[in-house]
Structure 1
Amino acid sequence: MNRVRLFLTLLGPITWVGFLVAVFWHWLRLRHERKVFLTAIDRHATGLWAGIIGGVSVAVIISGLSVLGGVLLPPAVLLMLSGLTVVMLLLSGIGFGPWWLPIAGLLAIYVPQTQFAQGTASVWTWRLLLLVGLLWLAEAGLLKVFDPPIDVPTLIQGPRGAKIAVYAHRQFYWLPLILPISGNTFAQLPWWSALTIGNTHFALIGLPLILGVALRTKKQLPKYAIKLWIWQYLIAGVIALALAAGAWALPTYTTIWLIVAVIVGIVVGLANHQANKRGINYVSQTITGVRLVAIQPETPAAKMGLEAGDVVLLCNQLPVHNDAELYAAIQAHPTYCRLKVMRLDGAIKLCETAIYEGAPHELGMITFAEEQA
């Protein structure tokens, strides 16, 4: 019965809100792409599966470390982490990143509590900072290993009159954490069992958290911003672990440690925003070739290593300046495709692959010309 109760806590409001938010953005992406480009760039639920597999893998590691290390947290911290997660998920339309995690500690201290106000902050602050550090490091690892390149292009009018592609990237990870929560709050519930080791009373609680990224770029592809995010959360995670060590060694300065951690989180959030704004090259229409707006996965174009922003200059030795010329060049040799491509940074690449007869989008190349009139 206790296993059932623990499992049910992992399917709480955060899980359902996170699931609904992820499904909503997946549905909206498919709807947008079919409307603008007449085809879905990625029809599969790759992001949803990556979010579950990556998140659960990380949750097992962090939960094991927390339980074995006795990282006991009061219910008030759990409550604040849950509430902040839901709020940030609902605001994911303007951006998402776990920079806000340390704020839960300050809220747990200063927001009026009732039966959830158990344990002094000097006792649990280092534990919260340890958890925050692990979660920030997990964010960096997940973005490095489990972040599928599913970018959503939107066509807008550029500063020089030509249309440009603006990219949105959203990926969420579900972490069904199991944490030891200190105090007797759950022992008072007739349907929940508390554990006792020595004079310490605690219960194992399922705390599902959501990590991930939601960003928008204009002068670069999202993958370049995400590379900076990885370093930012890696550095922040190390700093949070150092703050946890300080809070453990000097617990009398609890508020100072938490404030420093919150400042670090805010700096990371601002750094995330600046990373999204970096870049010098728009993905814009051009008359020197055919600009690729997106590449469909598992297609001949993907196998050739093409990516959004590339400009096809030659196709089967024929110069191409528009979608019609690209289609004609492909049809001239329908069994193979040889391309001369200019990257977004100006580098030239030669690539080829065996293909089947079809239009450019059937090769996996999405161009500006795919847009509906």
Structure 2
Amino acid sequence: MVLEWLLEMAWGFAKLLIHPVFYFTFLLAAFLGVSRVKRERSHFHVRAENAYYELRQLLPLGLLLGSILSIIMIAAGVVIPLAAILFIAVITIVLSIRVRLLSSVYTVGLTFFALFFTAGKDWSIPLFPDLFSSLEDKLYPSITVLLALLVIAEGILILKNGKKGTSPKLMTSKRGQRVGVHELKRVWMLPLLLLVPGDALQQLPFEWWPVFNVGGEGYGLLLVPFALGHYQHIQGALPAQAVTHVGKQIMAHGFVLTAIAIASYWLPILSLAVVAIGILGREVIYFSQKTKEESGPFYFSKRNQGVMILGVLPHSPAQKMKLSVGEIVSKVNGTIVHNEAEVYEALQRNRAHCKLEVLDVNGQVRFVQRALYEGDHHELGILFVQDEKKWGTEAV
């Protein structure tokens, strides 16, 4: 009997993969990958990562975080109304026009207000005749707990995954100088197993759906995919440092929201404070980072000491020599270089071997060398701030 129940439940999870956000998030990640590759090719005539890179980042860490959050929420007895799940799906798709808006403070926050204004309404939609009339005030703190925990997960995703594979691009500064910047535009999927009211599940077209009773109340489990996105423009610092800083800020923001959300079970008015503080705090983080980047000098610009590395192509000789973004190539095969053309002129003098003198991000000198083979990338695989206009002009 237990085995049969588990098999039916697993089959139910498979059916729930028809959730529109599940497929929409895959399509969005694929679109971001293709768009990035097109832009990189227009700027450098070569792409950094392939178009599948965003898709490969979509799920692995999200699955782990989703499992942890699912255990926490189920163990704490956090119940999410079915109406909230439907609102979140619709709002997620609408807000996807701007990747940075795919944060739980916006998707779940707007859902909170939507529930607030629709609760108790005698509206009927297909398959869910009592969707709004059955909403109870005690469910609002649960929405804010979901919001807060997802903000923590968003911070972890940015911190651990966002700093990987930021995309280099070329721009023209207001002074007409050609400079390099990095861009992070990423979306992740985080599947959560949520507790929902049992009477809501009985409205679904799956009559066999298992419902269990706790304290005289019926509950069910529903597997729900959440889309979390992040956008960051980086021009005044190393990409990894800038992304790490924002990730830590968002994590801290999530912990503050979680504390207030837990308190809202005893003082329900705090639920409104969680949503308001969540949206306001996320906006402050975004605009403070944006202002800091725009007011400071460009990190990837021409340097007197040599040529700064804006990007390193995967599986290239440069990556095998462990060259990093932000390092400065000062000499190539013993010749001092000041631009990309001089780098490759120096390489042509010895096509079988490459010896570089490099200043690392701490200003320390190091030497790297490697034999070059016929199958190696013809330009080492280093992306520089180019001296010649090989790309579409974009002002900043």
TM-score clears 0.5? yes
Q: CA deviation at 1:78?
A: 1.4
Q: Is the 8 A contact 1:143 1:212 kept in 2?
A: no
Question: Corresponding residue for 1:195?
Answer: 211
Distance 1:96 1:225 in 2: 20
Distance (Å, rounded) in 2 between the aligned partners of 1:81 and 1:269: 20
Q: Report deviation, 1:126.
A: 2.8
Looking at structure 2, the residues matched to 86 and 228 of structure 1 have their Cα atoms a distance apart, in angstroms, of: 28
Q: Is 1:175 aligned to residue 190 of structure 2?
A: yes
Aligned-residue offset at 1:46: 3.2
Task: Select which of 158, 175, 182 maps to 1:160.
Answer: 175
CA 1:349/1:42 → structure 2, altered by over 3 Å: closer, same or farther?
farther
* Contact persistence 2:77–2:195 (CA under 8 A): yes
Measured after TM superposition, the shift of residue 147 of structure 1 is 3.1
Deviation, structure 1 residue 315: 1.7
Matching residue of 2:35 = 28
Cα distance per residue 1:189-238 (max 9 Å; x no partner): 44242514142122222211012312223333443332222222221221
Which has the higher mean CA deviation after the structures are superposed, 285-294 or 264-273?
Answer: 285-294
- Deviation of 1:342 after TM superposition, in Å, equals 4.2
Tell me the equivalent position of 1:50: 57
When residues 156 and 147 of structure 1 are mapped into structure 2, their CA distance, relative to the original with a 3 A threshold, is closer
Secondary structure, counterpart of 1:188 in structure 2? coil
When residues 57 and 355 of structure 1 are mapped into structure 2, their CA distance, relative to the original with a 3 A threshold, is farther
TM-score by length of 1: 0.87
Deviation at 1:36, TM superposition (A): 2.2
| Pairs within 5 Å for 1:281-320 | 281-282=297-298, 283-286=300-303, 289-320=306-337
1:237-252 equivalent positions in 2, closer than 5 A? 237-250=254-267
| Displacement after TM superposition at 1:183 (Å) | 4.8
CA distance in 2, matches of 1:316, 1:207: 56
1:68 corresponds to which residue? 75
CA distance in 2, matches of 1:189, 1:140: 34
Moved more, 94-103 or 348-357: 94-103
Q: Which residue of 2 aligns with 1:219?
A: 236
Quote the residue 1:132 is aligned against: 147
2:226 is matched with which residue: 209, 212, 232? 209
SS of 2:269's partner is helix
Equivalent in the alignment of 1:271:
285
For the Cα contact (< 8 Å) 2:196–2:219, is it kept in 1? yes
**8 Å contact 1:30–1:43 — kept in the other structure?**
yes
Extract unaligned runs of 5+ from structure 2.
Answer: 1-7, 124-129, 392-396
Q: Does 1:40 align with 2:47?
A: yes
The match for 1:257 is: 271
TM-aligned CA distance change 1:8 to 1:267, over 3 Å? same
* One-letter amino acid of the counterpart of residue 368, structure 1: V
Cα deviation 1:160-206 (Å, max 9, x = unaligned): 22212232212221112121112512213442425141421222222
CA distance in 2, matches of 1:277, 1:306: 30
1-side partners of 2:369 and 2:102: how far apart? 38
Cα drift, residue 334 of structure 1 = 4.1
**Matches of 1:150 and 1:95, distance apart in 2:** 21
Contact 1:36-1:372 within 8 A present in 2 as well: yes
SS in 2 for 1:90: coil
Q: Is the 8 A contact 1:287 1:322 kept in 2?
A: no
TM-score scaled to structure 2, two decimals?
0.82
CA distance in 2 between partners of 1:272 and 1:99 (Å): 13
Whether 2:88 is the aligned partner of 1:81: answer: yes
Q: Distance in 2 between matches of 1:277 and 1:57?
A: 34
Aligned to 2:126: none
Q: CA deviation at 1:2?
A: 4.3
Contact kept? 1:312, 1:340, Cα under 8 Å: yes
Deviations 1:274-332 (A, max 9, x none): 22442433122456532332111333323444333433221232101222321132233
- Relative distance call for 1:177 and 1:48 in structure 2 (3 A) is same
Matched with 1:352 is 368
2: CA distance between counterparts of 1:225 and 1:314? 28
State the secondary structure of the residue aligned to 1:353.
strand
One-letter amino acid of the structure 2 residue matched with residue 156 of structure 1: M
Please give the alpha-carbon distance, in whole angstroms, between the structure 1 residues aligned to 2:102 and 2:359.
33
Per-residue CA deviation, residues 68-115 of structure 1 (Å, 9 max, x unaligned), is: 3321111122122222222222222x6654432333222211246532
What CA distance in whole angstroms lies between the structure 1 residues aligned with 2:297 and 2:332?
24
Paired residues, what number? 367
Question: Larger deviation: 279-288 or 60-69?
Answer: 279-288
CA distance in 1, matches of 2:17, 2:191: 6
- Cross-structure match for 2:127: none
